[in-house]
Every structure is written in structure tokens, then in C-alpha cells.
Amino acid sequence: MPQPTDLLQGTLDLLILRTLVLEPMHGWGIALRIQQVSQEVFQIGQGSLYPALHRLEYKGWIRADWKASENNRKAKYYSLTRTGKKQLEVEIESWDRLASAVALVLEQG
Amino acid sequence: MLKEFLTRLRFFIAGRSHDEVDDEVRFHLEQQIEANLRSGMSMEEAQRQAAIAFGGVERTRAQCREIRPGYWLESLLQDIRYAIRSFWRNPTFSLTVVLTLALGIGSTTAVFSVVDRILFRSLPYGDSDRLVSVGLIAPIEPEEFMLGGSYYEWQDNQKPFESMTSEIGAEPCDLTEHNPARLDCARVEGNFLPTLGVSPVIGRNFTANEDGPNGPRTALISYGLWLSRYRLDPSVVGAQIRVDGEATEVIGVLPKDFEMPRLQSADILLAQRLDVAAQRHADPGHPMWAFARLKPGVSAAEAKAALGPLFEYSLRLAPAPFRKEVHLQVRSLRDRQVHDVRLAAWMLFGLVLAVLLIVCANITSLMLARGASREKEIAVRLALGVGRMRLVRQALTESLVLSLAGGIAGCLLARILLRIFVAMAPDGLPFLSKARIDLRILMFALAISILYAVLFGLLSGIRKVGLEALTGRTRTALRHTVLRRWLVIAQIAVCMVLLAGGALLARSFWNLDKQSLGMNAENIVTASIALGQSSYPTPESQMAFFQRLERNLRYGPGIAAFAISDSLPPGGYHRDQVYASLRVEGRPALSSGTGGTVVSRRVTPEYFQALQIPIVQGQGFTDEEVRSNDRVVVLSRSLAGRLFPGQNPLGQHLHLHNGAAADADPTYTVAGVAADVKNGGLAEGDEPEYYQLRREQAQDWDRSAVLILKTTLPPGATEPWIRSQVASLDPTVPVDVKTLSEKVGKLADRPRFEMLLVGFFALTGLLLAVIGLYGVISYFVVQRTQEIGMRMAVGASRADILRLVMVNALRLIVPGVLLGMALALALSRLLSSLLFNISAQDPITFAGVTGLLILIALLATLIPGSSAARVNPMIALRHD
């Protein structure tokens, strides 16, 4: 099994935004989802998720509300704002550009 | 962008409680534990795995806090709180730093305010950098002047100037209307204001016709007069006023900041109305002062060279004896205004620089000592995981708080100092009374304190503290100790320079104050009177006024002697002429050179008795001579010795105005010789002098005179009485009553100012240097407590310990004093022009200052020294 790749700087933001497109989610859910969807490639340091979430919140890309969770506990749910949605498009586009550029280099290599 | 800012602002204001993060983290962990339990782990294992997956809870919490908007403010406040707490714990340190900074910033700011006004202020003229003062200088008048016989020739033929203008001086004049007033009237050429680049606020400038001898009389009035007398009424333009009895039309008002180029006070500007055609042929012509505007790109030196041929022309007009001693002068107007103030201003600047050096050295050394004593604390904080950036920031915050406190205290001190300077300053220093602490200067002070802050903050923040400092046994402080020792040596050296300068000026002032004036100024009240031109138009009426006044005053209460003169020793205005114009009958006049200046006064017989000037030969003036037609003079001893070496001067005949027409140069008979009296100011050399008798003849009198009354009553009682007597004769005549001691004291104002200023800085420097020395020695003692204890344990006596400390202090004091002495000897030459009757390298002064400095420095070490001697060896050895 390959070693889990270290999260690139800035990739975490993209992953969080992408995860939140579907529905509002709390921190643990986001961590779980990223892990599952990436088939355990991204092992998020769960502790470092929260500073990232707060940073995005301060930027106004996501919003947080306290709501009751599925097991009826009070949890903080993050959801994408309008700016966040726009930002996600920008991030995806720049990621694509980066990925195709890297792919190009690898093929040529 | 805006949205992001607003979001940040919302969080910044609303904040976010720490509990919120905790709740979120707790929820996360609980979810994880539940998930783990579901996958079949035991409770213990589930908790363990959840914690591992999450990583450090504390770290997350800290990271969340750090990315909050407003975190910087929070940590800044925390830093400030911490700084204030730590200053509070160590008040001596903080107070010393704040006071030292306040002294440094305060004196710098105050002096900068003063120097700025004197050296760097902008003159109130258009494009003032191109204005120059042009003229001739001669031994009798070292400040450039012009003569009508040359001026117009120069004005017509000069090349380097755009325009050239002149004024013929400012004199008292009377506004003879209802509510009469004594004012100052300056007389200027028609193109005066345009050349200076000044335009009237309302009205217009003189026309060429108005400047002619037969033109209509017109005047511009000063803004001050417009305000005080006409309440800024614009209809004053076109109004008729009476100046010295002549109807004059007001044609304009001068700008508020207008000043005459030679800084005379002037309420009214009159056209000088000289007859130009007559002046061109006059010899020497009307005395005047010329100013010019340089053409763009021409320097004063180039202008001077270009004026060479015209100067040659003027030299040919001058009498032969003068030619070698007359020179051409072209210098910027600013130079003319500040020339003799410049030395004082630079001296001030130097003083402040010296004090600033001491301040910097002191602060640095204090901060180093504090840094060394806090090494352990810093090591503990590093070990607890505080980031180094945070430590540097903390150190910066601490010094910023300190230096801002110092800066604010400094600004307050500057205000006080400035007020003291202005109160102390003699009249001769122009603009000082207008000195203000302006915004630029305030910023300057704040910039200095912030610079200090950054410097010291970095100094104490950047220092590498190893973890071994935790043991408290490091010697990393040693390196700083060496730096501190040099700083103290430098402080003592600078202090030595300041003290030497202060002591030299103090002794010079002492000499000045205690010198013999050649007369007795005690109990002399003087009254200066200048009669109005219109009320007393003829010498006869002027003589009649003064004679009536004499009759009323002479036998008044307590008047022991009464005399009238035209001027008073030892300084200020007096008539003078060149020695070459005196000629002993039967002998040729001096053939070459001018022979220097001779002072003269016209006095009534009791002059010598009133001022107690001994008559050493002959009998002086008698009352018979007052009523006769005889022309008699009394010579000063030095003049008699020069005119009649080895002869008896009594009865000799003398001409006083050699070269003038025969009827203007009558023969005088020498009636006596008086002892020499100081007559060239307090510090300057004395000139030979002669006294003419003031007889009961109109030709011997003019508008102004000074009355001299020797009184047996306190002067305070005599002064109002004199005023009332003058007023009973003519209430419109202004009279200036002062005791002669006051007048003499005023002459000493300037040296007193210089002495007090240097003295103030010397004492400040001494105080700071003592603080610095005390700090270093106490630190030395604290650092070596253990060693001292050990020495005492093996038998060293208290005297031995005291000696140890003192020797250590002397190792700083002696090199400092030696260095300072060398510096002071080199620098004191700069002071020599301010010194009176004392050499700039006076050995007694230097020895005294050295002794004083060493004594005070040793006293400063006595306190830490004796506390070292009281060290209890048992406790000291247990000290880790």
C-alpha cells in the first residue's frame, strides 16, 4: 500500500470547499468524508482541520451554524457561502491547470 | 475583498469564545470515539485512537486562536500588560530609563526648536535665498553699510543683481494726532518692497515720485499698527496721519510677518526721499544699508567678484587713510541676520548631541543589564515553548512602552525647557521669543523615541539565550559587560567635555561680572529721554527743556549728584570717530591708517563725580566753563597717553575733526585727564575716549539725552519721582528710567545665558554619567556576590572588598577622564571667542573639573561598594 500523500499546502482548502458543495457538514463529517472519498489516500491530521475551517470562515467562504446533529447533539455545521461557491470554481480551475501542467511535464520527461 | 474585510471585522468585534472551539473539538472527539466503539474497540482503546487521530488538542486550540482576526491586538495588549507588570516590579529601572529618555528627548526637542527658529527659519520675503546684503565694511563699522556717494553709482552699473535697494535706518518718530504715540519709522527707497518680494496686504507700494525729495509724503503702516490703532479698518488706506507734524497719506499696510532686513522694529515705512542727484556728488553721502536680489544662478561670491570695479570706484572716493581698511562685503541676508548667533546655535547643537550620546549610552547599558538579569526568565519561557518571534515582539513592546513614556515626558520637559530658555535669553538673540514646539519637532522627538525602542528592543530581543541559562551559571553576560564598560568610559569622557566647557564659561562670566568698570554704578538712576521732532524743533527749545528738567531734579530728595550725557558706559550706543581725525595743534595728523576708534561723550561737569570717575590730572570741567564760550575737553588716560606721550596734556590745544572745514573744526583745550572707563561693552577691549563739555549753548544740545542721578534713596523710590517730574513738564515725552546696574546687568545677559545653558547641560550630563556608572558598578557587585562572599570567607576584610569595588570603578573613571580631557582640550578652542580673560585651556579649570568628576564618580560607586562590603559570606556562598 502506498504511503498516504502529504496534503499539499492549499489543497486542504479545496477539499473542504468541494466536500461542502453537497450539504452542510460538521468538522468530523468533513474529515471522514475526505478520507472515504479519497480512498484513504488523504489522511487528514484531524486537529489541523479546524484552523483551516476557521480560516475559511474568516475569509467568508463558508458559514458556521450550531445545529442539532443526527444523534441529537449540538454540533457546528459548516456550509458554503455564495463567495465560497465562486471561490471553489476558481480553485478547481487553477487546480486543473496545475494538474495538467504537471501531467505534461511528466509525459515529456 | 470588501466582503472578506467585513467578515473579518465582524469576528474582530464580536470575538469568539474559547469555549466554542472547545465544544467543537469535544464533539469531534466524541463522534470519533463512538465510531471507534462501533468498530469494536474497547472504551479505553477508542479514546486512545481518537486522540491519536486528532493530534494535539492544545495545538489546535492555539492555532485556532492565532488565526483569529484581532489576535495581534490581543497579544499586543497582553505584551503591554506584561511589560507594565514587569516595570512595576522593577520601578528603579523603569524610572531611570524614562527619566533618561525624557532628559534626552526633552533637551533635544527644546534646543531643536530654538536652533530651528534661528538657523533654519524661512525669511518672510519672496524667494529669500536670492536676497543678499551688500556694502562696505570698515573697522569702525564691521557690519556692511553703504554711502550715498557710492550707492547710486553701484545701483546703476551693477551686473549681478536683478535689483538693488536701500534703507537709511529706523528712528523714533511721533504720531502727532489726538492720542499721540511714539513709534518707529523706517525710511526706505521706493523699490524696497518689490526688491524684497513683499507686497502690501492692502493698498500699494511707493511710486518713484513719492520717493523724490519734493514728492507727496506717503507711508505704509505695519500690520500691528493697523490692528492696534485702526482695528483692521481698510479705509485707513488714503487716510491722512501726522508723522512728526507732517501730513502724510497712508498708502498701504504691510504683511503681518513683515520685518526689516536688519530686524529693526518699524511701525511706519516712509519713503527716504533722498535727493539722488545731490547724493551722487556728496562726499561721503548719506549712510545707508543696501540689499539686492541676485539674478537666478548667480552666487553671492560671484556677485562679490562682479562688484570689484565698482568697489574700486568707491575706494577712490574714500580718504586715503581709510583705503586699506575698507573691504567689500556681499553675503546672504540670512548670514547677516544670524552671524553672531550662529556660534551660539551651533554650541547648543553640540551640547545636545553630547547629552544625547550620554543618554544613548545610558539606555543601552541599562537595557543590557536588564537583559542579562532576565536571561534565566527568558530561558524558562523558551523551554516552555514560546516562539522566538514572540520573545522579540515582547522585547520590542517593552521598549516601545518605555520609550513612549519617555517621549511623552520628554515633550513635557521640552515645553518647560523652552520656556526657561526664552525667559533667560538676552534680547540680542533674534526670534528666540518666537520659538515654538511645532508639530515637526514633536514628530522628531517621537521618531527618536521609536528609534530608541526598535534599537533596544532588538538589542535585548535578538540575544541568543541558550537553555544552559536555566542553570543560572552562564557567563554569556561577560561580553556585554565589556560593552557596558566602554559605554561608561565614553559617558565619563563626554561628561568631562561638558563640565570643562561649563566651568570655563562660568569662570569667564565671573571675570566679566567682577571686572572693574572704572566707575561706580551703585545707586545711579538713569533716564533716557528723546524729545519729539515737532514739539521741540530747535536746539534752543531742546536745551530749554533739559535745563528746566535739571532745575526740577537737581535738588530733589536724596539726589547727591546730577549730570546729563548723550550716552553711558560701559556698552551700547555712543558717539565714535577714528583716531586719525584727532590732531594736536602744531603737529601733523596721523599719516597712514585710521588708528582705530575713539569714543566721545558730551557731558555736564558733575558727570565724573556722579559716576565716581577719578580726575587724575587737572580739574575736569567747572561751572564757569559751562557759562563761557571756551571749548574744553577731558581726555581719558589712555587717549592722553597716546596723544601726548611723555608730555603734560593740560592746556594743550586739540582739533577733533581734522579734515573738516575750519569752522567745523574748532580748537579745544585739554582741561583734565580722567581715569579709563570700560566703554566697549563688557567683554570687548576698551577704546580711548574724550569728553566734551555740555555748555549753556544751543549747539551743544540735541533731541536726546540721558540723565544721570546719584541718589542716596533706594532707586525704587527715585524712579517714579523722575517720571512724575518729566511728566509735569511735558506728559507726551516718553522717558526710559533704569538703574545703571540694570543696564550693566543687561550687557551680561548673553554671557550669563551661555553659561547657564552650558551649565545646565553639564549638570544633566554629570547626572546621567553618574547614573550610568552607578548602574555598572552595582551590576558588577551583584554579579560577583558569590566571589565576594568567597573572598570574605577566606579572610578578606570589608576594606579589602570596598577597595576591590573602587579599583574596578577607577578602571572606568580614569580612562574616561583622560579621554575626556583630550577631547575637551581639543574642543575648548571653539569656545575661545566666548571667553573673557581666561584661556580656553586654563589649567586650573581643567584640574578642578577633573578632580570634581573623579570625586563625584567615586561617590557614585560608594553605595554599591558599601553594600558589597556588607555582604554576608554565609548567604553569598549559598547563593547559586
**Would you call B57 an interface residue with chain A, using a CB distance cutoff of 8 Å?**
yes
Instruction: Tell me which of A54-58, B26-30, B106-110, B713-717 is least confident.
Output: B106-110
Whether the predicted pLDDT of B362 surpasses 60: yes
pLDDT at A5: 44
Residue carrying the nine cell digits 549712510: B287
Identify the weakest region by mean pLDDT among B400-409, B611-620, B692-701: B400-409
Q: Given pLDDT bands bounded at 50, 70 and 90, which one contains residue B592?
A: low
**B4 and A26: CB-CB below 8 Å?**
no
Read off the amino acid at residue B742: E
Backbone phi, then psi, for B373, in 5-degree steps? Answer: -75, -15
Q: What is the pLDDT of residues B76-129, one digit of tens each?
A: 888 888 888 877 777 777 888 888 888 888 887 887 777 776 666 778 898 888
Asked whether residue B576 carries a pLDDT value surpassing 90, the answer given is no
Please determine, for residue B712, whether its predicted confidence score (pLDDT) is greater than 50.
yes
Asked if the model's pLDDT at residue B670 lies above 80, the reply is yes
Which whole number is the average pLDDT over B636-662? 87
Strands of the A62-68 sheet, one edge to the other:
A25-26, A74-80, A62-68
B635 pLDDT exceeds 90? yes
| Chain B residues touching residue A51 (CB < 8 angstroms) | 60, 63-64, 66-67
* Average pLDDT over every residue of B614-623: 89
Q: Which residue has the higher pLDDT, B149 or B372?
A: B149
User: Angle at CA B571, nearest 5°, toward B733 and B688?
Assistant: 120
Residue B880: is its pLDDT beyond 60? no
Q: What is the pLDDT of residue A4?
A: 40
| Residue (of B786, B126, B839, B156) closest to B504 by Cα position | B839
Please answer yes or no on whether A48 and B23 come within 8 Å at the CB atom.
no
Range of lowest pLDDT (A13-17, B113-117, B295-299, B666-670): B113-117
Q: Write down the pLDDT at residue B15.
A: 60
Q: Which pLDDT score is estimated for B432?
A: 63
d(CA B454, CA B401): 11
How many CB atoms lie under 10 A from the CB of residue B436?
12
- ipTM, two decimals: 0.84
Pairing of strands B202-203, B246-253: antiparallel
Shortest Cα distance from B398 to chain A (angstroms)? 30
Higher pLDDT residue, B567 or B835?
Answer: B567
Pairing of strands B181-188, B524-530: unpaired
pLDDT of B141 above 80: no
B49 and A CB contact within 8 Å = no
Q: Which residue has the higher pLDDT, A90 or B470?
A: A90
Q: Is B4 touching A (CB cutoff 8 A)?
A: yes
Contact A51/B6, CB-based, under 8 Å? Answer: no
Please give the residue that has the higher pLDDT: either A10 or B220: B220
- Report the predicted TM-score, pTM, of the whole model to 2 decimal places: 0.66
pLDDT at B270: 93
Q: Mean pLDDT throughout B334-360? A: 77
What confidence tens digit (pLDDT) does each residue in B463-495 have?
A: 655 555 555 554 545 556 777 788 888 888 988
Closest residue by Cα to residue B820 from B504, B361, B496, B498: B496
* Structure confidence at residue A7 (pLDDT): 52
Q: Give B490-526 pLDDT, tens digit per residue.
A: 888 988 888 888 888 888 888 887 788 888 888 899 9
Who has greater pLDDT, B168 or B181?
B168
**Confidence label for B433 from pLDDT (cuts 50, 70 and 90):** low
Distance from CA of B26 to the nearest CA of A (A): 10
Look at residue B160 and tell me whether its pLDDT is greater than 70: yes
Residue of B5, B7, B20 to mutate when probing chain A, most A C-beta within 10 A: B7
Query: Which residue among B24, B32, B66 places its CB closest to the CB of A76?
Result: B24
